[in-house]
Structure formats: structure tokens, C-alpha cells
Amino acid sequence: MKKLILVFTALIVLGGSANAQTLSDLYRQVQKAVAEEGKINKKREAEFVAARNRQSQLLAQAKAELAAQERRAETLKSEYDVNEKELAEMMETLTERMGNLGELFGVVRQISGDVLSIVNDSMVSAQYPNRGVFLSDLAQAKELPVTAELRKLWATMVHEISEAGKVAKFTAPVIDANGEKHENTEVVRIGVFNAISDGKFLVWDTAVGSGTLVQLGRQPASRFQSMAQELENSSSGTVKMPVDFTRGVILTQVVKSKTPWERVKEDGGIVGWVIVAVGIFGLLLALWKFLSLSATAGKIRKQMKSDTANQGNPLGRVMAVYTDNPNSEIETLELKLDEAILRETAPIESTLSFIKVLYVVAPLLGLLGTVVGMIHTFQMITLFGTGDPKMMAGGISTALVTTVLGLVAAIPLTLLHSYLHSKAKGVIQILEEQAAGIIARLAEKRDAGTA
């Protein structure tokens, strides 16, 4: 420091000597410079001391802050450990609950699909269309359902259940039997089972767009249509009404089922037509024979009331044998009467044997049709196997239809033959009784004459 002052003084002396006039001036200048230098040094010392004090204070503050931060770090570490443990527990709970929610999500989608299928197949959708849009979206959703969606799903299920027990009248589009669509047609719905319009039964056809009411091409029996008409016209009280508990399956089968005539025409084949011809011919022959025997029996009853022989009936012709041979011996007359009865028996019993042949042939033809149908069935099995039952249905149907036709033709012909045979026997018995009476009366007369 002293060296610096000496150097500085020398510089002032050298620099200021030019301005100093005397040594006193130079002394004053040197004193002034020394004083100023002292002030500067003091200022510097003060600044250094102040800086040193400030640094010590900052160091103390830093140490205090460090200690506080270390204490806070310990606290945070403790909180971190606690939070880590809680987080692990919460993650475990979250995983468990997420699993439950995932299961719930799968169940909701499955139930939504099931309810959608029920709603689309339900006849209630004719009255409340577009119910399946929400269910379709919910069944295909990729996110968890919200509470509002679950409530709406529940409400849809409850609505379907409640409507299943109601008889409702509303307007809806209906496709008639000719395929024409009629808008705003009045329809009466019986739960989820039947729908009727203008006395005609309808079915819910989901194959037409989202579902449409379609009128059956072939309606049930007329008594059921009358019940449907009565239900449409009633406003209160109790009305009888058939219910298709299969929700239209039975009514749909009514359209597909064949009538007896269609079965004969389509499934009977050639053998079936032959059996039908045999049955019709046998019935006509039996009818003709019944009329013939009835007319003959009427003529005989009329002849029994008269003693004059009429050649227009069997009894009259038998009586004519006696009137033509009044003096013949009893044995001879008896033989002639037997001969006359035999002549009348043949026409009376004619065609009965043929009817008997027909009722024997009819079931044999049915058996023939059965064999033909089974042959056709085995041919289908040989060609296409047994994978598709429909391929075998034609032959089996032919076998069964021809069997039924044979029995249907044989049973009435058998009964008719039995009846006509009894009737013919009754007529012949009358002839025999009358002939025996003639012989008895003749014998009495001759015995009385001899006596």
C-alpha cells in the first residue's frame, strides 16, 4: 500500500508540478491527493466490509435455507413413501374396478344385442318404430356406457314387457296379399302375438326393411276371421280371440302348408290320381247301386200290397210264376220259384262284387305309391346323401299321401259295400219269404181239397 502511495505521490508531483507555482502549492496538492486517496480507500474498505458482511449474511441465509430444504426433503420423502403406498393400493383398486367395469361393458353390449333382436322381432315395433337405433348403437359402442344409457336400456326392456300385455289400436303401413303397401292402415295389436286389420291376420315381417306388417296370403279358418272382426269392432268388454303364442310362426306356416287338394295334386303323383279315380268311380257306382236298390225295394213294397202280379218288379215276376202255373205240383212249383228267385238275385247283387274289388284294390294302390315314394327317397339319398332332409321330403310325402289316399278310398267303399250288400240281401229275403208263402198257401189249399 505504501509503495502505491509513493508512486501515486510521485505521479502527482510530476503531473502537478506543472501547475504548482510553489512548494506550498505542491504540498497542498499532495495533501489533497492523499486525502482524496484516503477517502477512496476508506470507501473501498467500507464497500469490502459491507460486501463481506452481506456475504456472511447470505451464507447464513443459504445455510438456513439449506437446512429448511433438507427438513422439507425429509418431510416430502416421508409423504412420498406414504403416497407411494396409497397409490399402489389405489392402483390395485382401480385395476379391480376397471375389470368389473370391463365385464359390465361386455354384459351391456351383449344384453343390448339380445334386446335389439327381441325388439326387431317384436310386433310392438310396428307401433313404435326406430326403437332399435339406440340399442344398435349401444351394442356397437367402444366406450363404457353412461348412466343415462343404462337407464334408457332398462326403460326399453320395461316398455317391451308392458306392451306385451296390451291390446292396442294404431295406424301403420301394411302390405296386403297382392304386395301393395297401404300407409296409415288401422291395425289392432294383441300383445306381441297377433295383429289384425280389417278382419285379416297380419304377421311382422323383418325381412322387409326394418320390419313391416304383411297380410297373410292364406288366412286361417273363417271362424277365426270372424273373431278378429268382432275384436276390431268392439270397444269394451271381453271378446274371444285366438292367440298365436309362437308370435307368428304358426300363422306363417299356414301360408306354407298345403291344402289336401294341393297335396294330392303335387305329392300324390300318377298313383295318387289313379287312387282318386278309383275312389270316385267306386263312390259313383255305390250311389247308383243304392238308388237302384232303393227303387227296387219301393216297387217290391208296392207289389206286396197288391195280389195282381206286375212284371215290372222282381216280386211281381216271382208271383207271375205261380199265376202262370196254378196246377203244377208243389215240388215243381217250388223249383220254378227258386229258379225265378235266382234270376232276380243276379241283377240285385250286380256290381256289388266290383265294388268289393275296388275297396280291395285301393289300399293296394296306396301301398304301390308308398313303394314308389320310398324308391324315389332312396334315389335322392344315393345322389345327394342325407345332409339335406328336404331332398328326401318329396319321396316320403308321396309315400304317405298315396297311403292316405288308398285308405280314404277303401274305408268308405268298404262301408258302402257292406251296407249295399245288406240291402240287397234284404230284397232277396223278401222274395224268398214271398215264394215260401206262396208254396205254403198252395199246400194248405190242396190239403184242404183232399180232405
Cell 339319398, residue located: 381
Of 162-171, 216-225, 245-254, the least confident? 245-254
Structural domain count, the chain:
3
- Looking at the structure, tell me whether residues 80 and 180 fall in a common domain: no
User: Of 95, 114, 138, which one is at a domain's C-terminal end?
Assistant: 95
Of 182-196, 230-244, 381-395, the least confident? 381-395
- Looking at the structure, tell me whether residues 29 and 75 fall in a common domain: yes
- Looking at the structure, tell me whether residues 230 and 287 fall in a common domain: no
Of 6-10, 31-35, 53-57, 143-147, the least confident? 6-10
For all residues of the chain together, what is the average pLDDT?
81
What's the pLDDT at 364?
Answer: 92
Residue 344 burial (CB count, 10 A): 20
- Looking at the structure, tell me whether residues 198 and 285 fall in a common domain: no
Is 122 inside a domain boundary?
A: no
Long-range contacts of 275-281 (CB under 8 A, 24+ apart): 275/362, 275/365, 275/366, 275/369, 275/402, 275/405, 275/406, 275/409, 276/405, 276/409, 278/358, 278/361, 278/362, 278/365, 278/409, 279/362, 279/405, 279/408, 279/409, 279/412, 279/413, 281/358
pLDDT in tens, 233-286: 887 778 888 888 777 777 777 766 677 777 777 777 888 899 999 999 999 999
pLDDT in tens, 322-336: 777 767 777 887 888
Is 267 inside a domain boundary?
A: yes
Q: 195: Cβ–Cβ under 8 A, 6 or more apart, which residues?
A: 123, 126, 187, 188, 189, 201, 202, 203, 204, 213
What's the pLDDT at 357?
Answer: 92
Residue 230 confidence class, pLDDT cut points 50, 70, 90: confident
- Looking at the structure, tell me whether residues 340 and 218 fall in a common domain: no
Quick check: 262 and 252 in contact, CB under 8 A? no
What's the pLDDT at 48?
Answer: 81
Mean pLDDT within 401-417:
91
pLDDT in tens, 309-368: 777 888 888 888 877 776 777 788 788 888 888 888 888 888 888 999 998 999 999 899
Q: Which three cell numbers stand for residue 450?
A: 183232399
Is 171 inside a domain boundary?
A: yes
Residue 97 confidence class, pLDDT cut points 50, 70, 90: low
- Looking at the structure, tell me whether residues 278 and 414 fall in a common domain: yes
- Looking at the structure, tell me whether residues 237 and 303 fall in a common domain: no
Is 109 inside a domain boundary?
A: no
pLDDT greater at residue 16 or residue 224: 224
Is 104 inside a domain boundary?
A: no
Mean pLDDT within 26-49:
81
- Looking at the structure, tell me whether residues 296 and 356 fall in a common domain: yes
Is 133 inside a domain boundary?
A: no
Q: Which three cell numbers stand for residue 407?
A: 285308405
Is 350 inside a domain boundary?
A: yes
- Looking at the structure, tell me whether residues 373 and 342 fall in a common domain: yes
- Looking at the structure, tell me whether residues 271 and 405 fall in a common domain: yes
Residue 6 has pLDDT above 50, yes or no: no
Give the domain range for residue 249.
167-254
Name residue 430's beta-bridge partners.
Answer: none
User: Of 35, 69, 95, which one is at a domain's C-terminal end?
Assistant: 95
- Looking at the structure, tell me whether residues 245 and 335 fall in a common domain: no
Residue 118 has pLDDT above 80, yes or no: yes
Residue 287 has pLDDT above 90, yes or no: yes
What's the pLDDT at 35?
Answer: 81
What's the pLDDT at 263?
Answer: 76
User: Of 68, 95, 122, which one is at a domain's C-terminal end?
Assistant: 95
The conformational region for residue 247 under phi > 0 = left, psi -120 to 50 = alpha, else beta, is left
What's the pLDDT at 291?
Answer: 92
Q: Is the pTM of this model over 0.85?
A: no
- Looking at the structure, tell me whether residues 86 and 7 fall in a common domain: yes
Is 35 inside a domain boundary?
A: yes
